[in-house]
């Protein structure tokens, strides 16, 4: 039997789960799984329901839920579906490689529609997987023209999300506004530590005992968007900067793919500069 996914974000009040359950029951549906969270400091309610149901009833169920939920509730009702990803890269292949291999073996859970790079370095690798590669040179262009060219290409693919797989250019607020809550970045440290260039050299000089990576949504505040996933790995005095860099790349791959998986399964809610993640 087909499944219907219901996502709810609204002001908290007594009886919300009961109200949703009654709507679901009246449509002859059964709740298979339910995850809910109340942010008591903000009085906000978040919930993810997976139900048995029919695809054509989605709009009707959404309307019924909006009638019983608090005003201005955000409600999404749809069956799980394959989403489209556009990947943006510079020169480093490790994150892109992990994504494309998973895509090739149909374990990614999404359709990679294109790869855009501001260098040609990763073109031949990308095209081996049958994925279109678009080179957008940043040299000799101002940021506005550079980003307009990228945006024109993305418009032809209409991606659900844009993944910055080690794309080493800072995007402007103008560009980010085209994809609110839809650009995912992997940062080469456990934010907010070691922001900027040469993070592993910084970590080596500092003599850290843990290194990590952070996947987050991109906002106007550089590297300070809502965090989706993080991980760390212990290191010690025997690690040189290059050893830390190699270990860091492995963490970056795993954290980015975890963040992508959570988003593709609609398990991430944005709330201000934070996220609620139902793992």
- Kindly list the catalytic residues: 223
Residues with Cβ within 8 Å of 53's Cβ and at least 6 positions away in sequence, in order, are 2, 3, 4, 24, 27, 28, 29, 61
- Residue 226 is given by DSSP the state P
Compute the CA torsion angle 232, 238, 243, 249 (nearest 10 deg).
-10
Strands 161-164, 83-89: pairing is: parallel
Residues with Cβ within 8 Å of 143's Cβ and at least 6 positions away in sequence, in order, are 172
User: Whole-angstrom distance between the N-terminal and C-terminal Cα of the chain?
Assistant: 24
- Residue 57 is given by DSSP the state G
């Amino acid at each position: 039997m087909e499944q219907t996914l219901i996502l709810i974000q609204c002001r908290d009040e007594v009886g919300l789960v009961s109200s949703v359950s009654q709507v679901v029951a009246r449509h002859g549906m059964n709740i298979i799984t339910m995850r809910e969270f109340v942010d008591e400091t903000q009085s906000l309610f978040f919930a993810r329901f997976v139900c048995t149901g029919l695809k054509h009833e989605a709009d009707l169920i959404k309307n019924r839920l909006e009638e019983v939920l608090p005003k201005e509730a955000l409600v999404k009702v749809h069956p799980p579906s394959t989403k489209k990803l556009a990947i943006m890269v510079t020169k480093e292949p490790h994150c892109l490689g992990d994504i494309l291999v998973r895509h090739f073996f149909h374990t990614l859970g999404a359709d990679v529609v294109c790869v855009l790079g501001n260098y040609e370095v990763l073109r031949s690798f990308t095209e081996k997987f049958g994925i279109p590669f678009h080179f957008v040179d940043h040299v000799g262009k101002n940021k506005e023209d550079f980003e307009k060219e990228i945006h024109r290409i993305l418009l032809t693919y209409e991606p659900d999300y844009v993944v910055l797989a080690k794309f080493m250019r800072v995007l402007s607020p103008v560009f980010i506004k085209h994809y609110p809550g839809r650009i995912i970045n992997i940062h080469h440290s456990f934010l907010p530590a070691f922001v900027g260039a040469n993070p592993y050299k910084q970590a080596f000089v500092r003599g850290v005992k843990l290194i990590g990576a952070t996947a987050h949504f991109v906002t106007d505040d550089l590297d300070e968007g809502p965090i989706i996933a993080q991980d760390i790995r212990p290191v010690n005095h025997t690690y040189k900067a290059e050893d830390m860099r190699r270990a860091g790349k492995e963490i970056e791959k795993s954290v980015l793919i975890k963040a992508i998986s959570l988003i593709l399964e609609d398990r991430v809610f944005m709330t201000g500069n934070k996220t609620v993640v139902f793992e």
